[in-house]
Amino acid sequence: SEMPLSLQAKLLRALQERKVTPLGSQREIDVDVRVLATTNREMLQEIRDGKFREDLFYRLNVFPLSTQHLAQRPDDIVPICSILLARHSDTLGEVPVIDDEAKKLLLSYSWPGNVRELENVLQRALVLSSGGKIMAGDIMVDGVLQEKLKSSMTTSSMLQQSATA
């Protein structure tokens, strides 16, 4: 979706003819390739705006796949957290456990940055956590989750105070 139109024409030709001319050569060589193309743009709008060739779109759109945002797949959040924590805590020796309140916070957030944002939040939590457990207070992101964290912590503090009174 970000490829210049001149390069799109060359890619289309290579895909259709199954031949390319290497740089500095005057002979074509046969190629047998499969292309996996991804985008975060609305391609039909890009075509309408003249930013992407329609013929190349249909050449590449042989087997289209769509994915959902992380917020639309809440059942995947905790398993993804386990994988990411294992990846980033290999030097710690033991993978930290996520506290139930922390899980609730992670599940309630909209994750506009998808898995990359989740990974950053977990890396931050690893730095802040102690005792092999990630608590709600270790989960820090900007915006909505931060507000939920504050209200959750306030509610938790009030409950603790009333229990001790």
Nearest to 37 by CA among 21, 19, 52: 52
Helices (H) and strands (E) counted in the chain, each on its own, are 7, 4
d(CA 98, CA 109) in angstroms, rounded, equals: 16
pTM: 0.62
Model pLDDT for residues 60-105, shown as the tens digit of each residue: 999 998 888 899 999 999 999 999 999 998 766 788 999 999 999 9
pLDDT at 147 over 80: no
**Mean pLDDT value across residues 39-44:** 91
The pLDDT-based confidence of 148 (bands split at 50, 70, 90) is low
- In angstroms, the Cα distances linking 61 to 1, 48, 66, 69 are 12, 16, 12, 21
d(CA 109, CA 84) in angstroms, rounded, equals: 17
